[in-house]
């Protein structure tokens, strides 16, 4: 095997040097020509996944010191960057400490957003942001005003670090004092699971995820709070902090829709899953009342793209799996670490149906009128999502022997970047893994962003055609 040396003098296999060099050269060719911000976001995520794949393929990344197949490395890197949590190999058993740190780094980068980190780096180095950099960051953070991007980027970093540090401290203290871990190991576990929780990744350093801590409120509740806050979305969290400081008194329409929708759907999820599994001896039925309530609460919240599980998902009732499918498909808040079609999209369509049922020509919410383009965007997101999940489910049904319940659950979990599984992920063929990779990538970037990135250019009509109304329904 030939060996090469990089600019800092670190020796590495020649093929790795060549691959990394090719990725860098490819990124340089791609990014300058990608004037559309959505294309830059897609390119940034893609390049990060490729770099993560190369790092995970290195012998030092695996516990046995062997090369990892490119499919396994690609799947794991995509799952980490897209903060999903689906795995084809057992994370603590297969990966070395270096491999786990690579996964942790990819989770953090993916959660904050490639363009957010790039914008922050540009701010630190040049102390100002070029217009193109601001537009790219705007696409990732969903900021509406270019002048606010600088504040949004800094806020995202600071808020994320605060939440992760607080969660890590609570988890570390609990693991050290209650379970006998050393301070070094307990802190490592606390930091890993805190970052994974706030970024809604769902990666855990235990073979059973968090099943061993199902009835421990000091472990489950801080993790649940972290992934709920991360799943609300950064714009909502910013408004919450401004309200706490009494800087802002009036809630924006987006914050009101997100908080009300998230709370209502979370309540339905908790009640439905707890009720359906209450007497199931393979899940909640084996616990006492307090354990059932805590575990039911956790599993009612985790399908909102968190991915951690304290029960064996494969033992759940078919009705519970279907409820979980719906929760995973909806996801969490916009511009956060959650996936799915988003709570706001689901709520907007509900108001569209309500307006249509009333015969109203416009959609009104809380004293505000929705623009027509917002309604079209919501419909596009949902239809694209349904089409992708349906296609992936059909392909997996053809490729495997698994039933519809398990395959549909896997597809929705991948698209919603959730990470829950009935246990079939590792048994899928390589083609099935690639199908899930495509779903995770699209689910993280978003159907609208993906479609915009693939479009050659924006087109506008210079004329209108005669109107004719077809029969609907």
Q: φ and ψ at 336, to 5 degrees?
A: -125, -160
Taking the C-alpha atoms of residue 394 and residue 114, their distance in angstroms, rounded to an integer, is: 32
How confident is the model at residue 135, as a pLDDT?
Answer: 52
Which of residues 87, 112, 137 is at a domain's end?
112
Strand partners, 364: 369
Assigned domain for 463 exists: no
Assigned domain for 395 exists: yes
How confident is the model at residue 153, as a pLDDT?
Answer: 75
Assigned domain for 136 exists: no
Taking the C-alpha atoms of residue 213 and residue 410, their distance in angstroms, rounded to an integer, is: 24
- Residue-wise pLDDT for 21-30, tens only, equals 554 455 455 4
Assigned domain for 415 exists: yes
| Comparison of pLDDT for 264 and 21, the residue scoring more | 264
Task: Determine the structural domain holding residue 95 and report its residue range.
Answer: 11-112
Least confident of 8-22, 165-179, 374-388: 8-22
Least confident of 133-137, 190-194, 332-336, 342-346: 133-137
Position 34 pLDDT exceeds 50: no
Count Cα atoms within 13 angstroms, Cβ side, for 162: 9
423 CB-near residues (< 8 Å, 6+ apart): 313, 314
Position 396 pLDDT exceeds 70: yes
Assigned domain for 160 exists: no
How confident is the model at residue 141, as a pLDDT?
Answer: 52
For residue 5, the SS3 value is strand
Question: What's the mean pLDDT in 39-60?
Answer: 89
Assigned domain for 70 exists: yes
> What is the C-alpha R_g of the chain?
22
Assigned domain for 412 exists: yes
As for how many domains the chain has, the answer is 2
| Comparison of pLDDT for 113 and 369, the residue scoring more | 369
Which of residues 95, 112, 129 is at a domain's end?
112
Question: What's the mean pLDDT in 362-378?
Answer: 82
For residue 66, the SS3 value is coil
Assigned domain for 184 exists: no
How confident is the model at residue 469, as a pLDDT?
Answer: 75
Which of residues 112, 132, 162 is at a domain's end?
112
Q: What pTM, to 2 d.p., does this model score?
A: 0.84
The neighbour count for residue 29, using CB atoms within 10 Å, is: 10
| Comparison of pLDDT for 18 and 210, the residue scoring more | 210
């Amino acid at each position: 095997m030939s060996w090469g040396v990089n600019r800092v003098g670190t020796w590495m296999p020649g093929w790795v040097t060549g691959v990394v060099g090719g990725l860098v050269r490819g990124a340089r060719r791609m990014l300058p020509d990608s004037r559309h911000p959505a294309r830059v976001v897609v390119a940034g995520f893609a390049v990060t996944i490729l770099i993560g794949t190369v790092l995970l393929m290195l012998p030092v990344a695996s516990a046995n010191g062997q090369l990892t197949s490119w499919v396994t490395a690609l799947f794991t890197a995509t799952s980490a960057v897209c903060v999903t949590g689906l795995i084809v190999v057992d994370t603590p058993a297969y990966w070395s400490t270096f491999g786990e740190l690579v996964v942790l780094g990819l989770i953090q980068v993916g959660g904050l957003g490639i363009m957010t980190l790039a914008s922050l780096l540009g701010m630190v180095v040049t102390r100002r942001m070029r217009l193109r950099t601001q537009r790219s960051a705007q696409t990732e953070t969903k900021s509406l005003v270019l002048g606010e991007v600088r504040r949004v980027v800094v806020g995202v970093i600071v808020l994320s670090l605060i939440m992760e540090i607080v969660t890590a401290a609570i988890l570390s203290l609990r693991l050290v004092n209650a379970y006998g871990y050393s301070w070094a190991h307990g802190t490592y576990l606390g930091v890993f699971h805190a970052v994974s929780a706030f970024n809604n990744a769902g990666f855990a350093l235990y073979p059973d995820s968090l099943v061993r801590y199902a009835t421990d409120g000091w472990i489950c509740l801080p993790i649940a709070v972290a992934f709920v806050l991360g799943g609300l979305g950064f714009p909502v969290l910013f408004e919450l902090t401004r309200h706490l400081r009494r800087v802002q008194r009036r809630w924006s329409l987006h914050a009101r829709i997100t908080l009300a929708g998230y709370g209502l759907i979370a309540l339905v999820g908790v009640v439905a899953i707890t009720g359906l599994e209450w007497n199931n001896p393979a899940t909640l039925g084996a616990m006492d009342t307090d354990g059932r309530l805590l575990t039911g609460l956790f599993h009612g919240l985790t399908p909102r793209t968190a991915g951690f599980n304290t029960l064996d998902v494969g033992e759940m009732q078919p009705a519970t799996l279907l409820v979980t499918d719906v929760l995973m498909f909806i996801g969490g808040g916009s511009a956060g670490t959650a996936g799915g079609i988003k709570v706001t999209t689901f709520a907007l369509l509900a108001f569209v149906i309500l307006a249509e049922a009333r015969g109203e020509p416009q959609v009104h919410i809380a004293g505000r009128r929705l623009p027509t383009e917002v309604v079209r965007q919501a419909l596009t997101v949902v239809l694209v999502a349904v089409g992708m999940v349906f296609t992936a489910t059909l392909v997996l049904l053809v490729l495997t022997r698994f039933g519809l319940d398990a395959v549909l659950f896997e597809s929705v979990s991948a698209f919603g970047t959730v990470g829950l599984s009935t246990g079939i992920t590792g048994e899928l063929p390589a083609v099935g893994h690639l199908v899930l990779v495509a779903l995770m990538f699209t689910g993280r970037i978003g159907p609208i962003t993906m479609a915009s990135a693939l479009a050659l250019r924006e087109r506008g009509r210079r004329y209108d055609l005669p109107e004719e109304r077809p029969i609907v329904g």
